[in-house]
Chain A
Amino acid sequence: MDLSPVLDGFGVVLEPTNLLYCLIGVVIGMLIGVLPGLGPAATIAILLPLTFGIEPVTAIIMLAGIFYGAQYGGTITSVLLRLPGEASSVVTVFDGHALARQGKAGTALGIAAIGSFVGGTVSIVALSIVAPVVAGFALDFGPPEYTALALLGILLVSTVSSGDRLKAVVAASIGLLLATVGRDGFTGAERFTFGSLDLADGLDFVPIAMGLFGLGEILHNLEERHRAVQAPAKVANVWPSRADLRRSSGAIGRGSVLGFLLGILPGGGATLSSLAAYALEKRRSKTPERFGRGAVEGVAAPETANNAAATSSFIPLLTLGIPANATMAVIFGALLIQGVTPGPQLVSEDPELFWGVVNSMYVGNILLLVMSIPLVGVFVRILRVRATVLAPITVLITLVGVYTVRNNVFDIVLVIAFGALGYLMKKLGFDPGPLVLAFVLGSLLEESLRRSLLLFGGDPTGFLTRPISGTLLALFLVVALLPLVRPLVRAALGRRRAPAPTDTHHPDHKELV
């Protein structure tokens, strides 16, 4: 492997502007991580237009910083206030807050910060090795491969994501339908445009993301603002004891690997991997009863895993152009705005951007590690800013922002419409994530499928004879059939295992699928 582009990437990161934006990104990330409700996808969507005038690499460094920074910030409120700032820190509440009540809040935060740092760093190293390998297949990825990949992605997004599976499928289907709007790229025929030129190119991704994530979340949060903020626990002695470190080192190691692997999967990501890592530690532990009562492993595992996953979810985006989760979908939009099409050619055609962004994560993680403890007090105080002040400002930024992307008033109308939809979805328990992801993957699926059929002269067996698309389709079948087969397997296993339920379990992924 040629290391010089990797080293050049460090040169890019160390430019003062990029360092500054990296810092801004991780600080914003921690900040919104602290604020319950406003997640990284929403924040990045709202800030998209501001990145317009910045260099692409600088912009993506900042947006990436927001994403992994949020994973650090989410921990703070989980531990101190029993109020998870992010979905990916929900499980941290159990043991983190228990520790805080025992006067060991510092230990919990310290372990979380160390775990996050290790998880993030392991994941970046793995990403640096894996990404160029995937990208090496760049030119072998033609329309049939993208068809199979998009199919697999949509399936995973709607079945693997956390939350109600049926509702995820419904949301994904709406996303697929929305993707069909616009002038047909193959025949020039108008589809669902109602004669409007504004719809001729289809719905733009940016207003959809800004509406569903940004406006929708703000509206939904306003409804829930009545929660009183209790006084945070005192933080003392952040350095975890040697015993705590020893106890959590295994959890940190396993969390890194699990987080990395789950982050790559479409539909995976930080939340799922934090749940999985927590479950894995609890299952492995010889004293599972300690969990929920202040076990350091219970903080270390999910916090490590969510950071590792946040980092590794960049792999499918940067190497294949397939966003693995909602936040990546928004960053995908950011890259497109900047005139950069993410895909297998990115590593070779734009090494500065690729390695600049990847390497900025090392710097960002160090910044976060250094900042996370001293800034705890400041961030907790921010929770006292009233939603009635914050919300209108954010809405204003959103609406002005979306206009500046294309100078089009129609986009403001779209944001408001999708904001209303996002609010209703949240209220009814639908996750907008699958909708947005299916919207992105839907156009890819349709176009690649039709292109492939043109190439094959209309013969669909062509998909099976090409090695990459054939493999991906086989994988698709496995994932699709798994839920049907699993109860049978489990029943069979259960019968055999029943006599000896205390077997030492090897790590398996059962409750992930």
Chain B
Amino acid sequence: MTSTSRSRRGLTAGLGLVTALSLAACGGNLGGGDSADAAESFPDGPITLLVGQDAGGSTDLIARALADQASDELGVPITVENRPGANGAVAAQELAGAEPDGQTLMTFVGSLAYITPLAVSEDEAVDIGDYTVVTGISLDDYVLVTSPQTGFTSVEDVVGAGRPVTFGTTGVGTGSQLSQELLFAQAGIDATAVPFDGGSPTLTAVLGGQVDVGAVQLGEAAAQIEAGELVPIVTFAEERPQYLPDTPTAVEAGYDVPVQQSRAIVAPDGTPDEVVTRLEEAFQAAFASADYQAFNEERLLTPDEIGGQELQEQWTGNLENYRSLVEEYGIDLGGGQ
């Protein structure tokens, strides 16, 4: 993150810092800052887990499911705090300004790191390289759906329709938009993006035939797919998600568009290695719990519990890949239209 945006840190972060400092002082940790000290005394009081989305959404539920389990492991409470705004950029900004002692963490959404930067101006783009990643969490798949009335069942059908199509997206700078833009560009389909405000309005528009197709997260459409009200065309996963085994991926259908929503636990840059390791162990233990695994099944999430380093490379790789694809096909996620 650039220095300008750091200096623009909200009042909230400032207050949070004051509170954190005074708490640390009360705890008698007057030395402060020294990494060995920090590691020994970690965790020093309750941990704050920031969520950049509204309470009740997927990211929030994941954070809460993990917080319960990891807090047992660490022996301190983990409180989930929602700081919704700008697809998580508000929370990310606060995290960047927090003390790097492992007491403040965030449930980061991948799209903020590798899709949103393609749509917003450079100084608003969040760089995952400015943070320390603790661990990956899981993958959420996007599925391209249509109403049975369109008669589309495969990408070929859409191509074969020989007419311009409209597609609903869950918003600008989302995986829903990127995946469809890439797919239709590669398939040579004349398609117009119609952004909606989130998954549920997008689905309603597809169900009502307002748009021809739309891409939403798998968990949002699963019930309607099962009921036959929606037809899945492709998923944008790397491999077929276990929850939708009969629907091909876009890659299988011949298009190079793997787009998934990934989530990770992220700490401020400069968090001591010992603390990161301790946190990683705690979250691995949370991943292993039966309750959490049942939660993943229920929300149709594919576990992706990879190490922090690996995840960081993956996300950076995604961003570069998407950036070159977007340039290659002349797609403009923002502006343009």
Contact = CB atoms under 8 A, between A and B. Distances in A.
A345 B336 CA distance: 33
B86 A183 contact: yes
Contacts of B8: 195-197
Contact of B83 (A341, A345, A408): A408
Contacts of A408: 10, 12, 83, 85
A392 interface: no
A190 interface: yes
A451 interface: yes
Nearest to A198: B10
A189 B204 contact: no
Contact of A201 (B82, B84, B119, B195): B84
From B10, B83, B85, name the one whose CB has the most chain A CB atoms within 10 angstroms.
Answer: B85
Which applies to chain B's interface (DSSP): helix, strand, loop or mixed? loop
Contacts of B195: 185-186, 451
A455 B166 contact: yes
B115 to A, nearest CB: 11
A423 B201 CA distance: 36
A383 B209 CA distance: 56
Contacts of A200: 85-86, 89-90, 124
B173 A188 contact: yes
For chain A, give the interface size range.
20 to 34
Which applies to chain A's interface (DSSP): helix, strand, loop or mixed? loop
B337 A186 contact: yes
Contacts, number: 104
Given A187-B172, A188-B334, A455 B211 contact: yes
A138 B171 CA distance: 22
B335 A451 contact: no
Interface string A5-16: 000000000000
Contacts of A455: 166, 192, 194, 210-211
B54 interface: yes
A188 B335 contact: yes
Nearest to B173: A188
B30 interface: no
Contacts of B82: 406-407
A142 B173 CA distance: 23
A339 interface: yes
Contacts of B210: 142-143, 455
Given A185-B172, A187-B335, A455-B211, A407 B120 contact: no
B197 interface: yes
From B171, B195, B335, name the one whose CB has the most chain A CB atoms within 10 angstroms.
Answer: B195
A138 B124 CA distance: 38
A447 B90 CA distance: 23
A239 interface: no
Interface string B35-67: 000000000000000000011110000000000
For chain B, give the interface size range.
35 or more
Contact of A409 (B15, B93, B166): B15
Contacts of A187: 172, 334-337
Interface string A328-344: 00000000000101010
Interface in B306-337: 333-337
A139 B204 contact: yes
From A138, A141, A196, A409, name the one whose CB has the most chain B CB atoms within 10 angstroms.
Answer: A409
B310 to A, nearest CB: 29
A374 interface: no
B200 interface: yes
Nearest to A408: B12
B319 to A, nearest CB: 16
A197 B336 contact: no
Interface in B59-88: 81-86
A409 B211 CA distance: 39
Interface string B78-107: 000111111001100100000000000000
B333 A406 contact: no
Contact of A454 (B81, B93, B121, B166): B166
B301 interface: no
Given A197-B8, A341-B200, A407-B82, 20 more contacts: A183-B120, A184-B172, A185-B195, A186-B172, A186-B195, A187-B334, A188-B172, A188-B334, A190-B124, A196-B8, A197-B93, A200-B90, A200-B124, A201-B85, A341-B201, A407-B81, A407-B83, A410-B12, A447-B197, A455-B192
16 contacts: A143-B194, A185-B172, A186-B195, A188-B120, A190-B121, A197-B86, A197-B93, A198-B85, A200-B89, A200-B124, A201-B86, A343-B204, A407-B12, A407-B83, A410-B12, A454-B166
Interface of B: 8, 10-12, 15, 54-57, 81-86, 89-90, 93, 119-121, 124, 164, 166, 171-173, 192-197, 200-201, 204-205, 207-211, 333-337
